[in-house]
Amino acid sequence: MESTSLRAAVSAQALATGVTAALLGYASSVAVVVAGLVAVGASPAQVSTALLALGIAMAVTSVALSSWTRLPVSVVWSTPGLALLATLGPINGGFAAVTGAFVLTGLLIALTGLVSPLMRVLQQLPTALTSAVLAGVLLPFCLAPAQAVGPLPLQAGAICVAWLAAVRFAPRFAAPAALLALLAVVVTSGGDVLGDGLAAPRLDVVAPTLTLQAVTAVALPLYLVTMAAQNLVGVSVLQAQGYRPPVGPLLVVTGGASAVVAPLGAPTVNLAAITGALTAGPSAHADPARRWVAAAAAGITYLVLGLLSPLTAGLVASADPRLVATAAGLGLLTAFLGAAAAALAREQDRLAAGVTLLVTASGVTALGLSSAPLGLLAGLLVLVVARRR
């Protein structure tokens, strides 16, 4: 595709699409980010720092890669990866070990970009099984709304009603509506949402360490889920629009950026999938050569949202974790249904995909591995046995 100069490429349509994609992506999944970080031991101050660092990393990489390649390369956080973290609980070595796992995950992603056989191995994994892993990771979150309505009928019910109303009248804004309802519930319940929210963000740096559990339960599953559910899909989104992205350099940059910001508690950043379809599609601009501006605009918007991280952390500190999980689960419902449908689409792979989904969703751990890699291994075993039969 032909490149264009900056002045010729900038358009109101591309800018508006980029800002909208960032706002939708942030509002739809920030509750998942917070829940995942809190589950593995992050304090409110560390959550605030992580959100700021993520905003900076997504902004710098989106703007730099889009400007360099003149392709709509949008970089976001790993929502499936953070949903995975939310199922883990405390890790040996505390949050310092988790940040060490974040560093290792970033380095593994960068290494994948440098060593092409690794990329080919990942691309050979059956789509049914990788989709099943994603569905299994998201399933516990999607159960949270039903589980919260019993003990918290008014508060959780209000969030569900707001989400359902948006599904009826503005489907694209259903997940943000659930987040706004969560905010309203916290405010009406007397929670101090603002707190230090209007103060300048402060950095809470963590010295990374590493434990065996952090490697097997965090780094390896996070790498697998991020590559299969985010980076490979993000590349496919760009290719579907006729682009030919330089996959290796993109992985090196996003993986390296992830490793750099990890001591600030920031999880992995990666190529966008769902919001990437907005910035790479015709809604960004009729001319494909001018859509890169939308991805760059989305990155700048993430930076602005990152500067509001104390406000987000204040909301989390004031909210019942079950309500945070409710808003997150509603926001992930569409992604879960899409992953489950892809996993179970082919009849010959359905049994293996079902086993993968159930083992992943079970939260079981064995041999130091968390449920995500165990689910994939179980599915591969069933697939091999079934095909041999």
Task: With both helix axes pointing from N to C terminus, report the angle between 153-169 and 174-188 in degrees, rounded to the nearest 10.
Answer: 150
pTM: 0.77
**DSSP H or E run through 343:** helix 321-343
DSSP string, 1-19: -----HHHH--HHHHHHHH
Is residue 182's pLDDT more than 90? no
**DSSP H or E run through 78:** none
Is residue 20's pLDDT more than 80? no
Mean pLDDT of the chain: 84
Per-residue pLDDT reduced to its tens digit, 88-129 = 888 889 999 999 999 999 999 999 999 878 777 777 778 888
Q: What is the pLDDT of residue 52?
A: 92
Per-residue pLDDT reduced to its tens digit, 287-296 = 888 889 989 9
DSSP string, 270-306: EE-SHHHHHHHSTTT-SSGGGTHHHHHHHHHHHHHHH
Whether 15 and 294 have beta carbons less than 8 Å apart is answered as yes
